[in-house]
Structure 1
Amino acid sequence: MVHGLVVGKFYPPHAGHHHLIDTAARACDEVTVVVAPSTVESIPLEDRVAWLREVHAASPHVRFVGIYDDTPIDYGSEAAWDAHAATFRRAVGGRKVDRVFSSEAYGEELARRFGARHVPVDPARGTVPVSGTAVRADPVAHWDKLAPPVRAWFAKRVVVVGAESTGTTTLARALAAHLRLRGGAFAGTAWVEEYGRTLTALKLARLRPGETMADLVWTRDDFVTVVREQNAAEDAAARAGGPVLVCDTDSFATAIWEERYLGHTCEPVRAAARRPDLYLLTSDEGVPFEDDGMRDGEHLRAWMTGRFRDELAACGVPWIELTGPYRRRLTTAVAAVDDVLAAGWNLASPLLPADSNSIVGGSC
């Protein structure tokens, strides 16, 4: 039985890491992948381990172990080497290691300390030209090197909310289309439809002849269903889309709709709310009410807009209100999204080698 070892921060996992793991998986009977970030890093350890397990689910002989390693990186220090090696041995569980697979300069010394053979894998990054450092600096430029669960974590989520017939769906669809025209990573920009309308259509289809929207009965369970389906659709779209995900409403907005129909919001619906990167509120002012057969709240539009303003002001997420004619609203929305993208992801720097001439690479 040949046991291989792969060690890295995987901050974040990318195609180069997957190539490294796949290479080890093909060469060994079993492989242990040690995910060993420091606690200063921004992406949770459990997320990285889960992402790697998902991507490599077809290789059951590869196991993933997460462990934090806050030992200062100074590979000119024997004490530092001993501490790092001890951490990795704990993760391996004392099992004998036959081969160490690495794209980093430290791989040779790490293999020596395990009494194993070093197998260098694409150290020049010629086969898969990407590194963790490059991804952290510009995720958009390396979007094609990220697996679906990693894309979902990085995607900037922009949610359009508003009262009935204020153009939320029109704006969400147009914003996504505008971003797709940029091409590259943005060509896959998705928008998530409002599940509440889907459920409304299902309820309308079950009405008896002569009954209308006014006869619909809404329950707490209906709104719990809406937030569950809305969140699931949002997460699925984030995995498959581009760096920006546009959502026509979300669970936060659903809580306000529940209040509108049932007087107050229940705890399961409140608990389902997420924290997107930006909210866009479509004002009702100057927008004529159009009854498409699934609307019944013209008299409540001003109240709903006010409730959205109040709740958005208290939620701690950046938001802007879109006013004026359609073209101005879209232009304002695009500018706001560009501001979110320009702000970047603000990922904390990993622990760096004490000596810039250290043999330790920084691309994991």
Structure 2
Amino acid sequence: MEMLPTGLVVGKFWPLHKGHQLLLETAAAQVAELVVLVYASPDSPTMPAAVRAGWIKELYRGDELSAGICIGSTRLRVFALTAEADGVPPDAAPDEVHREFVHRWLASQGIVVDVVFSSEGYGPGFAQHLGVAHVAVDNARQQVPVSGTQLRADAAGLAQYLHPLVAAHLGAVPPAQVPRVVFLGAESSGKSTLCEALSKACNTVWVPEYGRTLHEQKSGNLDYEDLLYIARRHAELEDAAAAEANQVLFCDTNAATTALYSYYYFHRCDPILQAMAAVCGQRYAHTFVCAPTVPFEQDGWRGPEALRSFQHGMILMQLDFYGIPYTLVEGTVAQRVEQVKNHLTINS
């Protein structure tokens, strides 16, 4: 298939859902650059266009911020438009008004597009007005049977059609394929060792702490924006691992701990990361906390041992703040494995 230079997608993305992701990813596979316009009028007071555009940018950024926002090798240029700054017409305005608005806005920005991608009936006429080709993507909603209107009415009931990052921002949690059990704890408290041992003992899989992976990749030089990215990627890795899990999925760390580190390193936390932390009590079937009583191992990436007690206390405080029940595990690795297995058996 010959790649066209520039594609265009226009939508409310209110909220961004997996149907939108299908549209964007299908479009990106056919163009070298994809322009995405996000707008509505009247706009949402709680998740305005800038927030919705931010979801797209966050979902399609990679490990290195310098690489930009991409789907594969296709560059995404995402714009949030408003009535005040850009003259966005009302949603109820005739199609001709919206078509001409986009036409003039693109011209004002010096952007030339070659093809329009859409999942709506307006697509062909819109593309014709711009004088470009049109590609329809799942207009019948067969691949992703949901709409923004449905999700605005019942985000919690339809959360399976939302990325975990977006779902959390709406206070919802996508249903889990298998129960997820999360392990929290200070640095060098045995979380990874315990998860690996449990995965072998229970013949299942586990999800390592993605924050540690990125921390090492960047030689410890994390940026503020990396913390939300860590939480997003960790959630995606959990979802991928759930498809391979046998009855239970063990997870090393969660978004709540990532939020703690955001405050620790940068003294602030992205609102979406805060939202992901707030739904951890719903996302995981049970939370275990590893007591910091195993010998401390300084691997070159951890803080000083003296911080372990403080970190442990902060984790417990956060769990109490969110009202998340937890079980403390202590002793050797073998003893901790038995404690977890016995507890999960009792609650099965």
Task: Give the TM-score taking structure 1 as reference length.
Answer: 0.48
The aligned counterpart of 1:346 is none
The one-letter code sitting in structure 1 at the alignment partner of 2:70 is: V
SS of 1:242 mapped into structure 2: helix
What root-mean-square deviation, in Å, do the aligned CA atoms of Structure 1 and Structure 2 show?
6.0
Contact 2:11 2:37 in 1 (8 A): yes
Superposition pairs for residues 214-363 of structure 1, below 5 Å?
A: 231=227, 234-235=230-231, 237-238=233-234, 241-243=237-239, 246-248=251-253, 250=257, 268=265, 270-271=267-268, 275=274, 276=277, 277-278=279-280, 280=287, 282=289, 289-291=293-295, 308-314=315-321, 317-323=322-328, 329=340
The answer for the alignment partner of 2:73 in structure 1 is 58
Larger Rg: 1
**Alpha-carbon deviations, 1:283-323, whole Å to 9, x = none?**
75xx9x554767x989x97x986664345434xx4522204
Alignment of 1:12-31 (within 5 A): 12=17, 13-23=20-30, 25=31
Identity among equivalent pairs (%)? 15
For 2:238, what is the secondary structure of its paired residue?
coil
Q: 1:192 is matched with which residue?
A: 209
Amino acid across the alignment from 1:278:
C
Residues 36 and 79 in structure 2, CA contact (< 8 A), matched pair in contact too = yes
CA distance in 1, matches of 2:229, 2:77: 30
Give the length in aligned residue pairs. 275
Equivalent of 1:160, from 183, 193, 199? 183
| 1:39 paired to 2:62 | no
Distance (whole Å) between structure 1 residues aligned to residue 5 and residue 190 of structure 2: 61
| Letter aligned with residue 322 of structure 1 | T
Please tell me the residue identity of whatever aligns with 2:123.
Answer: G
- Is there any run of 5+ residues in structure 2 with no aligned partner, and where? 61-67, 243-249, 282-286, 299-303, 330-335
User: Which of structures 1 and 2 has the larger relative contact order (alpha carbons within 8 angstroms, sep 6+)?
Assistant: 1
Q: 1:231 to 1:180 in 2, by over 3 A?
A: farther
Cα distance in 1 for residues equivalent to 2:297 and 2:89: 63
How far residue 48 of structure 1 moved from its aligned partner, in angstroms, is 1.2
Partner of 2:122: 106
* Distance (Å, rounded) in 1 between the aligned partners of 2:207 and 2:137: 34
Change (3 A) 1:90 1:174: farther
Distance 1:71 1:190, change over 3 A: farther
1:48 to 38, 56, 64: 56
Question: Aligned to 1:129, which of 134, 143, 160?
Answer: 143
Contact 1:16–1:130 at 8 Å: present in 2 too? Answer: no
Task: Provide the rounded CA distance (Å) in 2 between the counterparts of 1:227 and 1:335.
Answer: 42
Q: Secondary structure at the match of 1:44?
A: helix
1:238 maps to amino acid: H
| Contact 2:36-2:77 at 8 Å conserved across structures | yes
Match of 2:106 in 1: 92
For the 8 Å contact 2:11–2:38, the answer to whether it is kept is yes
Contact 1:32 1:92 in 2 (8 A): no
Equivalent residue of 2:126, what SS?
helix
- TM-score under structure 2 normalisation? 0.50
1:210 matched to which residue of 2? none
